Structure 1
Amino acid sequence: MDPLSEMLALLKPKSYITAGFDAGGSWALILDDLAGRIKCYAVVKGGCWLSMEESDGPVFLKAGDCFVLPTGRPALIASDLEAEPELASQTLHPDRSGEVVTFNGGGDVFLVGSRFEVNGRHAEVMLQALPPFIHVESTQDRTKLRLYIELMMDELRDARPGAFQVAQNLSHMMLAQALRLFLESSPGGVGWFTALADPRLAQSIKAMHSDPSHAWTLEELARKAGMSRTSFAQYFRRRVGETPISYLARWRMMSAGTKLIQGEETMAEISMSLGYSSEHAFSTAFKRIMGQSPRRYGRSQKQNVNSDQ
């Protein structure tokens, strides 16, 4: 499995709302309900602004553009940046999946997409590696993405039997394709996600993902990247934001977290499958990286999963 697929598998994004948004006139909304969620929408008609704190400024989204907000931070979306903003949590009905929501009369701007719930503590760790705002412009090669968007619009509009489930499945495909297109056009940045666009680092990251139990050394990973040991270590840290070995340890712990939640393996089996010689060594590393002991993590996350069902 490639790293992007593994990231989505670990996050287990569950489509919470799949809907259309039809807005008109002068309006502004603060998207204040994104904590623990990923928002992925496409502009089908018209255009609007999107702005986030600590960004380089507002970005204009035109018809055909897609955007992903993966970190849960609030964002402002508006037709008019001077308009008095309203809170989305107070303005839009929370149970609107499968519908087209009309706001301020509609008719000028139309968006379609989904909001995804993601897996608690896994999400906190994984989403830190993603940019707060991912913009996929219409000028890019986006034939598949356009197809998913058009099919989702058809399902929302026609409301045929099974439309809700089909639209949810399409939203997952739309999210994966948007992330893929962003990677293919990523100009740089810091974090393992954007580093996947770097041909040299992608090979070393894929190697760690494919065999996390292996006792990887800097020399081996540097060979995968076609670089010297020193150059690789410096370059990896500059592009990913941490050392290769600390990245490997973190990836092992996230993989372990999934196994703990599933509850199909013993602690000893999980430890061995990730290259640790003892449960104690594994438990110490897990608590250092994930903030709590493996057993406590497994219990708490199972409770979260059960409460969501």
Structure 2
Amino acid sequence: MDGLDRLVHAVAPTGSVELQCHFAGDWTLDHPSTPPNHLPYHIILAGHAELELDGKTSALVPGDVLLFPYGDAHILRSTTAGIDGQRPMLENRRRPHGRVTLIEHGGDGPALDMLCGAFQLSGATDALWTGLPKVLHVRTEHRDALLGLIQVLRDEAARPLPGGGTVVESVTGAMFTLILRSMTASGQLQLGILGMLAHPKMALVVDAVLKDPAHAWTLQSMAEVAHTSRASFARHFSEISGMTPMDWVNGVRLGVAAQSLRAGRLSAGRAAELAGYASEAAFARAFKTRYGTPPAAYGRLHAAR
């Protein structure tokens, strides 16, 4: 496993495909914000559209994949929507279509075919899922692996074949990883967790800490992993991640502990060990500061859901 493997394993994404959109003519589709750790995605299978996010517009073409890391509200619309000053809305004709709900809107002009779904992050997101832009926009024209997965997802969504649910879960999981890989490989992201993975020296540290979060990490030991001086490491780490190295390590430890408590796998004492705390009392104080409730109560609360 490398740093990206460990990141994906730690945030534990579960993907679903929910809608297929067949739109023609003028249309506008508002997407409200979603709860924390619920990440919508859109895949443009055919046709063109526009994305509006924070007042900025981006052109969408066939093969584009959009992932919203923090579930921010956004607008999708046809390329001609609003030219006449009107705001066209969808007629919202819905019907079951295989494993998804098909939404249709007729009209003159180019047609759009789009798949929509979401990822649920159920793992240790604290200090891991940070520093990302509001949308990850991947163009797949030269990414054969991602294009292949999209075709499989499209086929499985259209037909309720035996075992299709497992296929969708596996394909969306691989798609999630390939989206993150493409963003780090392209160098588009210089900040946050993906920025650290894109930086060879920082990627070594991410991998080492995620491999053994309970290790007695210090600024010096992380600098040695990065093969750099302590001062240089601390400066570059903070510039890329937006936090100090030790704040990041503590956030990772508490996130991993919270994940285990939610899953009901560990006692509070064992979670403290996993988080690298010699004292259960110190762990309980740090945990309550971050999550607002003691570890044992947090575990019981989530076990009851």
Normalised-by-shorter TM-score class: 0.7 to 0.9
Asked whether 1:114 is paired with 2:117, we answer: yes
**Given residue 121 of structure 2, which amino acid in structure 1 is its aligned partner?**
V
**Structure-2 separation of matches of 1:291 and 1:7:** 25
Q: Is the Cα–Cα contact under 8 Å of residues 99 and 156 in structure 1 kept in the other structure?
A: yes
Match of 1:272 in 2: 273
**Given residue 148 of structure 1, which amino acid in structure 2 is its aligned partner?**
L
TM-score using structure 1 length: 0.85
Aligned counterparts, 1:85-234, within 5 A: 86=89, 91=92, 98-99=99-100, 101-105=102-106, 108-119=111-122, 126-139=128-141, 141-234=142-235
**Given residue 66 of structure 2, which amino acid in structure 1 is its aligned partner?**
F
Q: How many residue pairs align between the two structures? A: 298
Give CA-to-partner distance per residue, 1:250-292, whole Å, 9 cap, x none.
0000000112122232222222233211101111121223333
Match of 2:52 in 1: 51
Cα offset for 1:79? Answer: 1.1
Secondary structure of the 1:20 match is: strand
Cα offset for 1:33? Answer: 5.3
Give CA-to-partner distance per residue, 1:81-128, whole Å, 9 cap, x none.
5252659xx9586987813523312771111242233339x5576544
Match of 2:20 in 1: 20
Secondary structure of the 2:114 match is: strand
Cα offset for 1:200? Answer: 1.2
Q: 1:159 to 1:265 in 2, by over 3 A?
A: closer
Secondary structure of the 2:134 match is: coil
Q: Is the Cα–Cα contact under 8 Å of residues 48 and 79 in structure 1 kept in the other structure?
A: yes
**Structure-2 separation of matches of 1:94 and 1:210:** 46
Secondary structure of the 1:150 match is: helix
**Structure-2 separation of matches of 1:293 and 1:95:** 45
Q: Is the Cα–Cα contact under 8 Å of residues 18 and 171 in structure 1 kept in the other structure?
A: no
Cα offset for 1:187? Answer: 2.6
Match of 2:286 in 1: 285
In structure 1, runs of 5+ residues without a counterpart are none
**Structure-1 separation of matches of 2:7 and 2:293:** 21
Q: 1:190 to 1:146 in 2, by over 3 A?
A: same
Q: 1:186 to 1:297 in 2, by over 3 A?
A: farther
TM-score using structure 2 length: 0.86
Match of 1:301 in 2: 302
Q: 1:97 to 1:251 in 2, by over 3 A?
A: farther
Q: 1:85 to 1:221 in 2, by over 3 A?
A: farther
Match of 1:67 in 2: 66
Q: 1:289 to 1:146 in 2, by over 3 A?
A: same
Q: 1:184 to 1:85 in 2, by over 3 A?
A: farther
**Structure-2 separation of matches of 1:96 and 1:73:** 27
Q: Is the Cα–Cα contact under 8 Å of residues 183 and 189 in structure 2 kept in the other structure?
A: no
**Structure-1 separation of matches of 2:215 and 2:93:** 49
Give CA-to-partner distance per residue, 1:24-68, whole Å, 9 cap, x none.
111111111533321223211111111212x7x211111112111
Secondary structure of the 1:200 match is: helix
Bigger Cα displacement from structure 2, 227-236 vs 152-161 = 152-161
Q: 1:165 to 1:269 in 2, by over 3 A?
A: closer
**Structure-1 separation of matches of 2:35 and 2:17:** 14
Bigger Cα displacement from structure 2, 95-104 vs 190-199 = 95-104
**Given residue 201 of structure 1, which amino acid in structure 2 is its aligned partner?**
M
Q: Is the Cα–Cα contact under 8 Å of residues 18 and 167 in structure 1 kept in the other structure?
A: no
C-alpha RMSD of matched pairs (Å):
2.8
Match of 1:77 in 2: 76
Bigger Cα displacement from structure 2, 275-284 vs 178-187 = 178-187
Bigger Cα displacement from structure 2, 273-282 vs 167-176 = 167-176
Q: Is the Cα–Cα contact under 8 Å of residues 39 and 116 in structure 1 kept in the other structure?
A: yes
Q: Is the Cα–Cα contact under 8 Å of residues 18 and 97 in structure 1 kept in the other structure?
A: no
**Structure-2 separation of matches of 1:97 and 1:116:** 20
